[in-house]
Structure 1
């Protein structure tokens, strides 16, 4: 942090789930209406080349929360526990008296086995933080309650019941389902009903509820410093929106799918497996896209309207003057592009995410309204939060870099020129079994520069895309004889990256530098004659 830069007091860390980078008006979408998120971009910096470290919720979020790559923290997919040995943002903030809390989703899977082994009591405040990835669960709710599931001990469902939405699972039966003309419940898990309005009133739906709970937290904090992770579950499926958002857009607002017949001609075996998944075969149909995408867009506009409410609240309370505001996503959504549905591979529509940062300090005045095309990663957020609050990011733990130099018009200091993203297809039988891969040999690692995207896949040929001449990633050059040199170069970059992971997390770089001096002072004379 610059000596002249006064620290901020708070961080409002907003994350939408499964929001594509290109589904904002400020990012160029011709039809979607997001004036309030656009206003954030006008007040801050919009990063046009921001990449996540995992193309699924769990791995991506654990990297963001720890500031570490997937290889380093080990939580490589959804529902893989985050080891109690890992330090998270909350762990780094706690010694400085900063309250770190979540309203909404984290997808943190608790390492209960590790807690038992180390004698950590999850019912105590320290134990609770460990079980929730370093976030105080002020209003944690990961959502996704299947139909027929009895939801208990859930504040949002209790709230719905208090508003007259009765039943074992009001999350599904009201907030994420519609009612057909025949009087039958139309489950939001079936995308054919996406154009119908949810049974819940707009003000009672998830997004406004979580916004209000975020404002409750900020109000309770008063003048005490905080980091609040407001994590919306939408526009993640079920693709269901309350009125009027369910009918705000129509098929005429749907952009053509980014796909070619050539992609299906002779695809990489892993790509073929994912194209054969149910979400992919479903989203390859025009009627599905024309039904689902307008609702997806409506859910985004609902988030945008809630951003308006939240920003007005910050201005009224004066918190807009001392709070760093971040808006981003954990990954995108194929929505039929590349013959795919859902996520999990490494096309830019998945691994590139929106990232907008508003720094209210005068040092950021020179970059307001700018679109920054530097390559940045989600792991850069944790060190940015710490440095903005005036705390030195612990380099022995964090593998990201603070974005303050880019926010404060010191672009020459930024050195990062590639992004890394990791995943496994071990959990997808339709991909793994046809290949005959054992579950421990299903790893995939993407290295992306401005010119090339290289994907290493265990035991199989890589994938390669020329981002200069093929920016939509239609032609896989992973087997092209003419590009053997490029593949070798990108593999070398991957190996160099692997060799540079943090290996001495228990000691600071400064501690390492003084080690020889400490040995001599202690009288440890090794090898003396």
Structure 2
């Protein structure tokens, strides 16, 4: 107690000496934090939250991300709002829910983002405030020049719908891109001036080039690096694949029939995730019910992550070499998770944690330089990313962003910012919607929505007849294995979770399938 009193007294004295810049609670020099930092935002593709060494995975090799996490705040309960790439990436940049922005792969959304909508995204707002901005990699969604919400016809795959003019440096590409050299010896249209043999390596060179160029500008920079890895096709660099040759990697701990048969029937029968696992797709390398195929897949998947990790290390080394590491904030996350055999599923989008949970690491050297890594349990939504980046740049978030900055948690000023998080899956593999069928009373769809609180997670399949609901006491049942929705003792909890979900829908969902 005496030590604590002396510490507080010393901080108060420092406040007086330094002009009241040090916050007594957190010990942060507010004057230092008021200086606009450089911001590097790193986004992986299809990276499940547990596929990192720092998350306790002893099989994947991620030394650079692990080192970053060991100097950062790592959020253990960060959640996607639409765990599939196009809507998720739109939500990350605009800070809006899928049901609000409408940029989804399937109906009822399936629209592009208008120019006016994109002008309230974090990269545009930062550039308008004086930041030097760059984008590298897979962009993932379409931005139109007009005010109309165009019905999507693969516009995200077309160059003319990429927002090049909104960045100082544009090294992005439409569609999925390729890991390997394409026509004319280019990587997704960019000349291979560094003689790279893989997209991960090439994007690393692009990132370093941008950082060197941005460092010469008389302004802070924001670089968004959007990896393709570890998205399919699972084609890693040979140097990283060799690291796993002698390893025997076990299946996920819920990759067994009892977890599959607990899934709602609509998921078993209609989800392409099950098709991938059980060999009903035309890609034999995705049929991971076969042990040898699983080993091939998981080693290639992890090898892509290791290649991505190598780029993270190169980026950190460059900012250190340039002497700007102390004023460069790094945020690392993914656009969605991946089942990797969990529940005997292969893909994403379905709203269990393997798909819906995000890795999230925030490194602020102005606060964390002398500290070891910190883990946080508070709920965070992926729509909190844009407000977080804006707050770092001291830019007010627009009213269209319902999320909150997570920096008060990073700076130890708050323990949590959300009492609940929400998300939805509107991807049903382009099956007919309920308004298109003759017998809507028999309609079944895997389109679904969820709400997660501190202790519970509730999932609803609202278009199924009868409606399907699941409730998990997720703080104890982390594998979401025991559905409690029909147990009388949880009746009040179910009612409360239904109301929370209804409230999110009422406020943020503009697009609905109607019978």
After TM superposition, the score normalised by the length of structure 2 is 0.78
- Please give the alpha-carbon distance, in whole angstroms, between the structure 2 residues aligned to 1:386 and 1:101: 15
**1:279 is matched with which residue?**
276
Q: Do the aligned partners of 2:140 and 2:176 also contact (CA within 8 Å) in 1?
A: no
**1:97 is matched with which residue?**
130
Counterparts of 1:31-46 in structure 2, within 5 Å, are 31-46=59-74
- Structure 2 residue corresponding to 1:470, chosen from 464, 471, 477: 477
- Give the superposition deviation at 1:400: 1.2
**1:516 is matched with which residue?**
none
Q: Do the aligned partners of 1:17 and 1:233 also contact (CA within 8 Å) in 2?
A: yes
Aligned CA distance change for structure 1 residues 146 and 204 (closer, same or farther; 3 Å): closer
**2:303 is matched with which residue?**
298
**1:351 is matched with which residue?**
356
- Give the superposition deviation at 1:132: 5.5
**2:498 is matched with which residue?**
491
Could you list the runs of 5+ residues in structure 1 that have no partner in the other structure? 118-126, 164-202, 504-529
**1:449 is matched with which residue?**
453
Aligned CA distance change for structure 1 residues 425 and 115 (closer, same or farther; 3 Å): closer
Say yes or no: does 1:393 pair with 2:397. Answer: yes
Q: Do the aligned partners of 2:387 and 2:397 also contact (CA within 8 Å) in 1?
A: yes
- Please give the alpha-carbon distance, in whole angstroms, between the structure 2 residues aligned to 1:264 and 1:66: 35
- Please give the alpha-carbon distance, in whole angstroms, between the structure 2 residues aligned to 1:151 and 1:82: 30
- Structure 2 residue corresponding to 1:59, chosen from 60, 84, 87: 87
Tell me which moved more, 253-262 or 383-392.
253-262
1:136-158 residue CA offsets vs partner (Å, 9 max, x unmatched): 561112463589x9858965455
Aligned CA distance change for structure 1 residues 128 and 449 (closer, same or farther; 3 Å): same
Q: Do the aligned partners of 2:114 and 2:146 also contact (CA within 8 Å) in 1?
A: no
- Structure 1 residue corresponding to 2:220, chosen from 221, 225, 246: 225
- Please give the alpha-carbon distance, in whole angstroms, between the structure 2 residues aligned to 1:384 and 1:153: 38
Say yes or no: does 1:377 pair with 2:381. Answer: yes
- Please give the alpha-carbon distance, in whole angstroms, between the structure 1 residues aligned to 2:69 and 2:244: 23
Q: Secondary structure at the match of 1:295?
A: helix
Say yes or no: does 1:419 pair with 2:447. Answer: no
1:305-343 residue CA offsets vs partner (Å, 9 max, x unmatched): 221111111101122122111111111111111110111
Could you list the runs of 5+ residues in structure 2 that have no partner in the other structure? 1-20, 24-29, 151-158, 279-286, 511-515
- Please give the alpha-carbon distance, in whole angstroms, between the structure 2 residues aligned to 1:345 and 1:471: 16
Aligned CA distance change for structure 1 residues 264 and 278 (closer, same or farther; 3 Å): closer
Q: How many residues align?
A: 452
- Please give the alpha-carbon distance, in whole angstroms, between the structure 2 residues aligned to 1:502 and 1:428: 20
1:203-248 residue CA offsets vs partner (Å, 9 max, x unmatched): 4210110011111112222233221101111111101112122232
**2:313 is matched with which residue?**
308
Q: Secondary structure at the match of 1:421?
A: strand
**2:266 is matched with which residue?**
270
**1:407 is matched with which residue?**
410
Q: Do the aligned partners of 1:17 and 1:235 also contact (CA within 8 Å) in 2?
A: yes
- Give the superposition deviation at 1:450: 2.6
- Give the superposition deviation at 1:298: 1.1
- Please give the alpha-carbon distance, in whole angstroms, between the structure 2 residues aligned to 1:43 and 1:276: 36
**RMSD across aligned C-alpha pairs, in angstroms?**
3.6
Q: Secondary structure at the match of 1:486?
A: helix
Say yes or no: does 1:204 pair with 2:197. Answer: yes
**1:120 is matched with which residue?**
none
Counterparts of 1:129-208 in structure 2, within 5 Å, are 131=163, 134-135=166-167, 138-142=170-174, 144=176, 155-157=187-189, 159-160=191-192, 203-208=196-201
